[in-house]
A = this chain, B = another copy of it.
Amino acid sequence: MAKATGNQRRSRKTYQARVRALREDLVQMQVQLKESPFKVLLILAGPEGAGRGNLLNTLAGWLDPRGVETFSFHEPTDEERERPLQWRFWRSLPASGRIGLYAGSWYTETLREEARSQRALDQIGLEAERICHFEKLLADSGTLIIKVWLEISKEAQGRRLRALRADPLTAWRVTEEDWRHHRIYDRLARTAKLIRTRTDRPGARWTILKAEDEPTRDLRVGQLLLSRFHQQQARFERLTGSASPVALPPVKPLRASGRRLLRALPLDQELSAKDYEAAREKWLGRLNQAVRAALAAKRSLVFVFEGWDAAGKGGAIRRLTSAIDPRFYSVIPVAKPTDEEKQYHYLWRFWRQIPRDGRVAIFDRSWYGRVLVERLEGFCREAEWKRAFGEINDFEQQLTGHGTIVLKYWLHVSYKEQLRRFREREVTAYKQHKINAEDWRNRDKWSAYEIAVGDMLVLTDRRTAPWHLVPANNKRFARLEILRSACRQIEAALGA
């Protein structure tokens, strides 16, 4: 190797000094981040040879590895393939206070697919849309997203690949696919630009960096991480500075039609025990077959049960499960989020429970808590629960888009019937555990809940994931109604 000139030595010294200073700042940043209510995603993207891997190595070395998770997505596992596309990205998110470094990301597959076979613009548009939704949801909940596109010319790419291939220590890293990508450099660059343009949104902007000079590239990415962190922190300080008011504003409906829908529902159906039993056996048998057919077709089922306290969710779930082979379903009771769950987006804990193909998940209460209890108790800000309608629709659309059948039930009882049931629970020994002070408090907020439920029913009712409004003053009727509508929805989804 040629001897370094005086200039080179000086510039290397300057570089090393800058790196030292940057590293101290970064470690300080991590100390602050650890106490912060947000997480950082640093996404590195770019063509082969732009040095994503090396950059990731450098950054991982600069940071305290205990606060960092690195991700790159290889071929999906079978557990991943049997769930909606987005599932693997949800399961890989870091907790609050931590940094996720992404050498591969939701962009990788899209770009790799494009290289395999050029696709229609529409298709790329759809994928960009999906990515935008995901990033918006994360950014809206406070996640700092830093996206870096490493740019390198076709000539430089060729040089890099040849250099890697020439060194026995790195030759293994250059694949046939890399060379193919090199040959179609221009086409890939155009597509990448298109995707960047479509996904360059507030809260998830792209930073484009010349990647040819490694030291410059690495320093700039480190500095970018630092400055974006401080901006984000300042933003959070402003937010927490204006503390939310203690008294909650009165609850106003977003859609008046929802409450009307609820109030118009006839609740007191007649159904004799004998008629019920005969019909129940028939519908249980039919449901058993429908579910079996769905699972055999490798579809998955997600049931959502919401309803007033004491509306009979538990009993309805028991009747439903009696028609399903217990080896294939699980019931997920949803209570207050745990410490761990609080470190993530509110949808995270539900994503975790999404069933594989051929399985059934039954949610006893669900993500709709966001627009019900969290809205009414002020557990989240107004902007947050308002945003949730769209986020939930998008979430369910990802499920149904994957082939999951989503069945949603609101069990509706009258104010008077609820009182009767509460009193009955209080005097029946084996039901006393089912009633507590909170139930009475919720009851006091009946009309506020009516508004929230109404909004939910109107704003999240979609053809592919419809709400079933179940009259439940008569328990038998309600249970039968659920069996019937479940049968019909599953059969329709299977095209039976």
Contact = CB atoms under 8 A, between A and B. Distances in A.
Interface of A: 24, 27-28, 31, 53, 56-57, 60-61, 64-72, 77-79, 101, 103-104, 169, 289, 314, 317-318, 321-322, 325-327, 329-331, 333, 338-340, 362, 364, 430, 433
Contacts of A53: 325, 327
B327 A70 contact: yes
Nearest to A322: B61
A31 B61 CA distance: 51
Given A321-B60, A326-B101, A66 B28 contact: no
B66 A364 contact: yes
20 contacts: A24-B430, A28-B430, A31-B430, A53-B325, A57-B322, A64-B314, A65-B317, A65-B318, A65-B321, A66-B314, A66-B317, A66-B331, A70-B326, A70-B329, A71-B327, A77-B77, A77-B78, A78-B78, A169-B289, A339-B340
A60 to B, nearest CB: 4
A383 B322 CA distance: 43
A71 B101 CA distance: 36
Of A79, A331, A362, the most chain B CB neighbours within 10 A belong to A331
- Number of copies of chain A assembled together: 2
A318 B78 contact: no
A487 B312 CA distance: 62
Contacts of A340: 338-340
A317 B66 CA distance: 9
Nearest to A318: B65
B61 A321 contact: yes
Contact of A56 (B60, B66, B327): B327
Nearest to A332: B66
Of A325, A338, A340, the most chain B CB neighbours within 10 A belong to A325
Contacts of A64: 314, 318
Contacts of A364: 66
A354 to B, nearest CB: 15
Nearest to A68: B331
Given A79-B79, A321-B65, A340-B339, A72 B331 contact: no
Nearest to A65: B331
Contacts of A27: 430
A65 B305 CA distance: 13
Contacts of A325: 53, 57
Contacts of A339: 338-340
Contacts of A78: 77-79
Of A66, A101, A321, the most chain B CB neighbours within 10 A belong to A66
Given A71-B327, A339-B339, 12 more contacts: A57-B322, A60-B321, A61-B318, A65-B321, A65-B362, A66-B317, A70-B326, A77-B78, A79-B79, A338-B338, A339-B340, A340-B340
Contacts of A28: 430
Contacts of A314: 64, 66
B31 A70 contact: no
Contacts of A71: 327
Nearest to A74: B327
Nearest to A70: B326
A56 B322 CA distance: 11
Contacts of A333: 66-67
The list of the 6 closest CB pairs from A to B, nearest first, reads A72-B327, A66-B333, A65-B331, A60-B326, A70-B326, A31-B433
Nearest to A173: B325
A70 B318 contact: no
Of A24, A67, A72, A321, the most chain B CB neighbours within 10 A belong to A321
